[in-house]
Amino acid sequence: MTTTAVCPGSFDPITLGHVDVIERARTMFDNVIVAVAYNSAKQSLLELDVRVELARAACQHIDNVRIEAIPGLLADFCASEQVTAIVKGLRGSADFDAELAMSLMNRHLSGVETVFIMGDPRYNHVASSLVKDIARHGGPIDELVPEAVQRALENHFQR
């Protein structure tokens, strides 16, 4: 039986912490889909198609990883892709508290379980919102994001 996990997120932008979780998810599942989502609760800096392309660039070195934009509910996407599990990275207890209700709702809607992976401690301080703020002010982000993301954010804020 082939297993497929989905790693969902807004990825605005994708960080090295995200990539770490995706790499480790790939060691547990045959295939991983990075599901780049629109989040109505967040004001995105980068357009959805840009976030998808940056995720593709960040994950091109990982076999059997596919990047997709998801237009609606994650539960519906999981059903259409016959997903085995949803994988979410956690930096600490605050992330767990934020993800718990969502994982239970996704299980209620789709029957798909969520697997939590503790993030590598090297990236516990890395959050997309912090990366954007540092980049906005011209600070160094090269140790926080893949090279393509660094270039994209530098170009975005030079406008």
Which of 10, 18, 26, 51 is flagged as catalytic?
18
Element (H, E) at 141: none
Cis omega (within 30 of 0) for bond into 13? yes
Q: Tell the residue number behind the tokens 């599901």, with chain if given.
A: 35
Task: Judge whether 132 counts as a catalytic residue.
Answer: no
Which of 51, 88, 128, 132 is flagged as catalytic?
128
Name every residue whose Cβ is closer than 8 Å to that of residue 13 and which is 6 or more positions away in sequence: 45, 46, 51, 54, 128, 131, 132, 145, 149, 152, 153
Task: Judge whether 91 counts as a catalytic residue.
Answer: yes
Task: Judge whether 56 counts as a catalytic residue.
Answer: no
Task: Judge whether 88 counts as a catalytic residue.
Answer: no
Tell me the residue type at 99: E
Which of 42, 61, 136, 151 is flagged as catalytic?
42
Which of 66, 91, 107, 156 is flagged as catalytic?
91
Residues tagged active-site: 18, 42, 91, 128
